[in-house]
Each structure stands twice: as structure tokens, then as C-alpha cells.
Amino acid sequence: MAKTAVLGAGSWGTALSLVLHSNGNEVTIWSAMEPEIRMLREQHEHVEKLPGVKLPGDMIFTTDLAEAADGKDYLILAVPSVFTRSVAGQLASFVKPGQVIVCVAKGIEEDTLLTISEIVQEEIPVAEVAVMCGPSHAEEVGAGLPTTVVAGADRKSVAEGVQDIFMNQVFRVYTSPDVRGMELGGSLKNVIALAAGMADGLGYGDNTRAALITRGMSEIGRLALKMGAKYETLSGLTGIGDLIVTCESRHSRNRRAGILIGQGYTMQQAMDEVKMVVEGVYSAKAAMALAKKYEVDMPIIREVNRVLFEGRPAKEAVLELMLRDKRAEHSDLKWER
């Protein structure tokens, strides 16, 4: 049994706390919002973000970050990516050397172009930093539906420790040393999911969505490989697997926001309607900056940025993608004649 704290009491943090507890681990849930912690203490349920999923009576709920971190073997950092640096900065003075911080949010910081684990390592250098991601919606994890994810870390023993505390008969965890590939796949797929949602909102069909998924994976792959990611990661759970579920699922907040934008909502109106953090909006500019930095052509991500931040109608963005210059699907493949 490990002593664990889940930092962030949203739908994902709540669902993961249930997985940890079901495996016999001691679980503390922290949130900076007193009303949220009061709700969890009194009702043992996140009635707003994960209704119907009951939390056990022996979980500890707190707004005190020092209390949450004290003596814990694993700190699960589940706050939205836009709050990662601020929370990590507050947490730094409470973390002891060797404590493991598991980053489960997905995103790229716009100003620095750092991934979540890189931000945490910068803010808390004494910590052992790991990541966990893959095709995993909180609604299904909370309901106990079979789910498979990947735990990544620079050190094998750290990844295997994360695997040990989370893995059970309905939550399978693989390990990987390719932390960068995992995080890039998990972050950039949110931007592609916005595009897929926009197409759905415009009334387009399965053909369009399939094209966006496959060509979106091509864009993610070109950038990620140039940044040092491994092909195996991109073809696995945290690459194509995560992309498919985020572009297809009714639970996907990025797809939902994209649908609303395709129907004519502004970016802000769509985010207000979804009522949850839409990570793809925050990663879109960073993705475009990385494309420029590494000189990688990413037309889908470019058009998503134009729709989000330049007011371009989603229908015009789709036409731009369809009417680009003719080219081969894979430029590396050679003709025999």
C-alpha cells in the first residue's frame, strides 16, 4: 500500500483517486477551492463533474497543500495544464527528495513551450517526475469500465512504481521511457480533436472525421519525431489511441467545444458552454509555435489557430485544407517507375 495524494479534484483527479483507493492505497484529495472540498466531504461525490460516482468514506479531503503532500509516496498532479506551474510553485517547498509526482494533465505551456513534466521538473527539481496518459475519459474510469494507459518516466523503477499503484483488473497500465513522445501525443491530439469537432458541428460525416484523425496523426508524428519522440509511442496508446478517443467520444470536451464552434459559437462561448477546461485551446498556439521552431508543416493545427484566434469561419478552414496543393500521401515512399 502506498500513501498517495491527488492534487486537483476535477473529474479526472476524482476518477483516479477511486482507482488508487480500490487498489488499497491511502488517498488524500486536495483542491484549492473550499466549496469543492466541502462538497466531497459531505456528499462523497463530485456532483458537478462526476455525478453518480461515489467516493469511499475513508478518503481524506483537504485544501491544505502541505497536509496533502506530507509523507506521501506519490503526488498525482491532476490540475488543468494552465494551473500546473502555479500549483507546482506552491507545492515545491513541501516536496521531499525522492517523492514521485505523477503528471496526468496534458498540455504545452504557451510562453515556454515546455510540457507538463518539464514544468514540474523546473519548479520542483528534487522530485522524481513521471507521467501517465492514454485513451482514458474520466467518466468511464469512474464507472469502472476497462481502460488502458501508459506510465512514463526517465527511470524504469519510477514508471513501474506508478504502474503498481494504479494497475488492476479494469485499469491496465503499461510503462514507457519515451516521456516526450507521450506528452506530445497527449497534448497535440486535443488540438486535432477541436478540428474533428468543428467538422461534426458543420454537419460533415465519418469520412471527414477519419481524414482529420489520420492526417492529424501525420502532423503530430512529423513534429514529435523531429523533437526526439519514438515512432512506437506515436503508434501506441498515447499516440493514435488517445487521438482516436478524443476525436470520437461523446465525453471529449475538446470535440464538444469544436462542435459548438462549427455551429457558429465563438471560442469563448464554446468554452463557457462546455464548463470545463478545454485543453486544446491552450495548446493550439504552443503547437503552432513548435511547428515554426522545428520547421514542420502542420496545416490542420494552423487552421485551428486561425479559427480560434483570428475569427476564421470553420467552413473556410475546411475548404482551405481540402484545396491545398496536390501532393503524395507519404513523401518518403518511392515509385518503382
Model pLDDT, residue 321: 85
Which contiguous run of DSSP H or E holds residue 136? Answer: none
Distances (CA, A) of 140 to 14, 50, 145: 12, 10, 5
Three-state secondary structure call for residue 334: coil
Whole-number Å distance between alpha carbons of 229 and 92? 28
Instruction: Pick 139 or 329 by higher pLDDT.
Output: 139
Question: How much is the pLDDT for 326?
Answer: 79
Residues 6+ apart with CB under 8 A from 125: none
Instruction: Give the pLDDT score at 287.
Output: 96
Establish if 173 belongs to a structural domain.
yes
Same domain, 316 and 233: yes
189 in active site: yes
> What's the domain count of the chain?
2
Whether 172 and 217 map to the same domain: the answer is no
- Is 183 in contact with 157 (CB distance < 8 Å)? no
The DSSP line for 154-165 is SSHHHHHHHHHH
Residue 257 lies in a domain: yes
**Which grid cell is 27?**
488517498
Among 128, 143, 177, the domain boundary falls at 177
Q: Are residues 283 and 147 in the same domain?
A: no
Q: Which of 49, 72, 106, 189 is catalytic?
A: 189
155-199: pLDDT as tens digits: 999 999 999 999 999 999 999 999 999 999 999 999 999 999 999
Is residue 107 a part of any domain in this protein? yes
Q: Residue 318: pLDDT band by 50, 70, 90 thresholds?
A: confident
pLDDT digits (tens, 9 = 90+) for 207-219: 999 999 999 999 9
For the segment 57-67, the average pLDDT, to the nearest whole number, is: 97
pLDDT of residue 249: 92
Domain membership of residue 266 as a residue range: 186-322
| In a domain? residue 336 | no
